[in-house]
Structure 1
Amino acid sequence: MLRITLYSKPGCFGCRKTAEKFTALGVPFQEVDLTATPAALEYVTEELGYSQAPVVI
Structure 2
Amino acid sequence: MILIDYQINLACLLLTIRYYDGIFYIVNTCVACKMNFYITATDPAGPWSDPIWLP
TM-score interval for Structure 1 and Structure 2 normalised by the shorter chain: under 0.3
**Higher relative contact order (Cα pairs below 8 Å, separated by 6+ residues):** 1
Considering fraction of residues, name the structure with more helix: 1
Flag the structure with higher strand content: 2
TM-score (norm 2): 0.23
TM-score, normalising length: structure 1: 0.22
